[in-house]
Amino acid sequence: MVKEVPALHELKHYSVMCEEVLEHLDLQPGNRVLDCTVGGAGHSSAMLNRIGADGFLWGIERDPRTLERARKRLEETGHPFQLIHGNFAELEQLAEQSGIVALDAVLLDLGTSIFQLREAERGFSFMEDGPLDMRMNPDEDEPSAADVVNTWSETDLRDLFRTLGEEKFAGRIARVIVEKRRREPFTRTVQLADTIAGAVPKRDKIHPATRVFQALRIAVNDELGALERVLPVAVNLLKPGGRIAVIAFHSLEDRIVKQTLRTMSVDCICPPRLPICACQHEPLIARPGKALFPSDKEVSENSPSRSARLRVARRLSPSV
Ligand SMILES: C[S@@+](CC[C@H](N)C(=O)[O-])C[C@H]1O[C@@H](n2cnc3c(N)ncnc32)[C@H](O)[C@@H]1O
């Protein structure tokens, strides 16, 4: 049986844990908010509708095509906003250029959007053939997934698939890739997906290339590096009482969020061997609560949400 694939304009766009984000960011009319990952603008438009005509939303998006689609959706709200094409890793400069200060809320909803996954020519998907690209901003002169697959050593590929993909056949897949690329470099998504499928035994429900594609996407876009850079800057842009919400889909991303927020919430970051505190570290945020997960209902309606974890933190007032 052939499975019907919806056309791009028919795709239903789900914003993961949208109700929880609105509730935990505690948005009020007139608030100033920043969405660092506008994507399909589902969260952005819901936030704009909450903060209304007296509020203001800034939205950052790395992918120029996604940004234009989002603009149309946000215009429909009739409320004031500004979209910024850029990488949230550069938030400090972007905020300075656009006058972003004293925010009530910041959101990061990490990863890719369904539109990127479904546009074959972006090279994110192993289901449809396209160039092996995966760059969120194809205009940037950065290495593509094909560059990684064709030039990294076997050891580096194995380590990449193991750490960022949590792929248990990482060594075997890296070996087969290196063997095959001697005869013909990898240029297409399906070419790589078929090679991976041929290298590993048939196993669980997910496609055998899922984890390798995830690892390549995270590496090509330096997603973990960008996350490490943005979190302290984003917290610094909050006014006292302002909140940050981060939705992560990967355990390594979530670990970065958890540890960074935790470090920002404690009053001492001295090494444990020091007998007395010498760091004079001041907590910037209240100690964050536990991660929140999507409801069973959401997971049944939108299965990719099953791996989402939402963490929220609140900025403290400066001590005097
Ligand atoms: C999961 S989607 C966001 C979906 C969005 N919250 C919604 O409701 O439609 C993540 C988006 O973040 C963008 N993105 C990922 N990394 C980024 C970065 N470093 N800087 C800016 N945008 C980024 C991706 O291009 C993608 O469109």
Helix (H) or strand (E) holding 155: helix 154-163
Residue 84, in any domain of the structure: yes
Atom of ligand 1 nearest to the CA of 39: 27
Of 220, 242, 276, the one marking the end of a domain is 220
Residues 211 and 230 in one domain: no
The beta-strand segments (E) located in the chain are 32-35, 56-61, 81-85, 103-109, 238-248, 309-314
Convert the pLDDT of each residue in 288-304 to its tens digit: 999 999 999 999 998 88
CATH of the domain at 158: 1.10.150.170
Query: For residues 63 and 84, what is the distance between their CA atoms, to the nearest angstrom?
Result: 10
Residues 279 and 227 in one domain: yes
Count of CB atoms situated within 10 Å of the CB of 74: 22
Residues 16 and 54 in one domain: yes
| Pocket-testing residue among 16, 18, 38, 58, ligand 1, by greatest number of atoms within 8 A of Cβ | 38
Comparing CA positions, the residue from 13, 5, 63, 59 lying closest to residue 32 is 59
Residues 12 and 105 in one domain: yes
Residue 34, in any domain of the structure: yes
Question: Structurally, how many domains does the chain consist of?
Answer: 2
Domain that holds residue 149: 137-220
In the predicted model, is pLDDT for residue 10 greater than 60?
Answer: no
Answer whether 212's CB lies under 8 Å from 165's CB.
yes
- Its sign, for the CA torsion 90, 96, 100, 101, is positive
Residues 240 and 263 in one domain: yes
pTM: 0.92
Closest CA to ligand 1's atom 2? 113
Q: Ligand 1 centroid vs 171 CA: distance in angstroms?
A: 31
Residues 211 and 252 in one domain: no
Atom of ligand 1 nearest to the CA of 247: 1
* Residue 1 confidence class, pLDDT cut points 50, 70, 90: very low
Convert the pLDDT of each residue in 38-95 to its tens digit: 999 999 999 999 999 999 999 999 999 899 999 999 999 999 999 999 999 999 999 9
Of 220, 254, 274, the one marking the end of a domain is 220
Q: Exposure string (b/e) for 176-189, b if CB count within 10 Å is 16 or more? A: bbbebbeeeebeeb
Residue 74, in any domain of the structure: yes
Answer whether 145's CB lies under 8 Å from 209's CB.
no
Query: For residues 188 and 195, what is the distance between their CA atoms, to the nearest angstrom?
Result: 11
Convert the pLDDT of each residue in 180-213 to its tens digit: 999 999 999 999 999 999 999 877 778 899 999 9
Residues with CB under 6 A from ligand 1: 13, 15, 37, 39-43, 60-63, 66, 87-89, 109, 111-113, 136, 226
Residue 210, in any domain of the structure: yes
Which two structure tokens, joined as six digits, stand for 286? 């209240």
